[in-house]
Amino acid sequence: MVARHLEWLQIDAEHARVAVDFFESYASHVEEHHSNQSQEPDLYAANLTDIASSLRLAGQWALFFDYNRALSLLLKAGSIWQGLGYSYGTFLLAALAPEQMDRSQLARSIDELGRFNGIEPSSDTQSERPSQSILNPQQQAYLLLTAAATTRERGTRYVETLWTISERSPNRVGVVPVGALGTPIRAYWEIARNLLSRDDQQGTAASVTQHLTTMAANYARAMELAMANRRLWANAASPVDVADLDIAAIAILSAYRVGSHLMHRTLTTAVEGLPELQRVPLEISIEMIGRTMGRGTTNA
């Protein structure tokens, strides 16, 4: 990615590489010694979650110097979470490798979320028990965002279900914190509603960018607070998400919806004149849009 981002963050590149190696090695250790399907189901799921979390941490650090390695680590994490029924995993896969996203699982989860909000299912699929995406407000946010950005069906009952969920759910005005930055869930809900509407793609790109810029300002404040502990920070050991994946994934999913050139241009304009720390997650997002999609790709 861009070396200057680590300079702005005042982190030595070698410490970032050590962090990647550590988290990846820890994930491998847990997978080899503590992840056996013969285990009690809850323990097995907990170990898989531990593996995915470590891979995600390794992947976010790798974004600063080795995109291909970062992509591999993040896709492994996303695949594990998706397999466990967490919409966050599908959210990552939809942004980074849409072909790996389980669309049938996504549709089933949307039906579940619809029933959760008093809507009859749009298909004949029935799940045996509510998924994690339905029981957890944060997972509901990732679910609706993913579905809003990736659906190709317009004017169908499936899309009507998405609209109705977006209107009926209390998450529309909720303040439950989502993601590492604790962004109020209503912001995620509003982004999803923007992505569901294709009447004004420029307006959608501008609205999403405004949300991402606000999230990036919160990211900058979080990094500044973490820097107060110089020992942890200098050794890349602070308990923060140094590359906010929610910002990047939302940007990429929005580019799928409104077109990569438009989203790339809107974000590039937005970062001009911003403080360095606030620019970090936005510039990472811009580069990931280019690498993932190519600036000329559109989804119109």
Q: What is the pLDDT of residue 298?
A: 37
In which band, very low, low, confident or very high, does the pLDDT at 122 lie, cut at 50, 70 and 90? low
In which band, very low, low, confident or very high, does the pLDDT at 296 lie, cut at 50, 70 and 90? very low
In which band, very low, low, confident or very high, does the pLDDT at 91 lie, cut at 50, 70 and 90? very high
Q: What is the pLDDT of residue 157?
A: 78
Q: What is the pLDDT of residue 159?
A: 85
Q: Give the global pTM.
A: 0.92
**What's the average model confidence in pLDDT over 117-136?**
67
The residue that leads in pLDDT, 12 or 197, is 12
In which band, very low, low, confident or very high, does the pLDDT at 197 lie, cut at 50, 70 and 90? confident
Q: What is the DSSP string of the chain?
A: --HHHHHHHT--HHHHHHHHHHHHHHHHHHHHHS--TTS-HHHHHHHHHHHHHHHHHHHHHHTTT-HHHHHHHHHHHHHHHHHTT-HHHHHHHHHH-GGGS-HHHHHHHHHHHHHHTT---SSS---SS--HHHH-HHHHHHHHHHHHHH----SSHHHHHHHHHHHHSGGGG---EETTTTEEHHHHHHHHHHHH--S-HHHHHHHHHHHHHHHHHHHHHHHHHHTTSHHHHHTT--SS-SS-HHHHHHHHHHHHHH-HHHHHHHHHHHHTT--HHHHHHHHHHHHHHHHHT-TT----
Using alpha carbons only, give the angle 158, 113, 204 rounded to the nearest 5 degrees.
60
Q: What is the pLDDT of residue 39?
A: 75
Taking all residues of the chain, what is their mean pLDDT, rounded to a whole number?
90
**What's the average model confidence in pLDDT over 113-118?**
87
Q: What is the pLDDT of residue 155?
A: 54
Q: What is the pLDDT of residue 123?
A: 56
Query: Chain centroid to CA 9: how far?
Result: 21
What pLDDT, in 10s, does the model give residues 65-87? Answer: 999 999 999 999 999 999 999 99
Q: What is the pLDDT of residue 79?
A: 97
Domain range annotation of the chain? 1-84
In which band, very low, low, confident or very high, does the pLDDT at 293 lie, cut at 50, 70 and 90? confident
The residue that leads in pLDDT, 132 or 292, is 292
Q: Which of 120, 109, 178 is nearest to 144 (CA)?
A: 109
Q: What is the pLDDT of residue 186?
A: 98
What pLDDT, in 10s, does the model give residues 150-171? Answer: 986 655 778 889 999 999 999 9
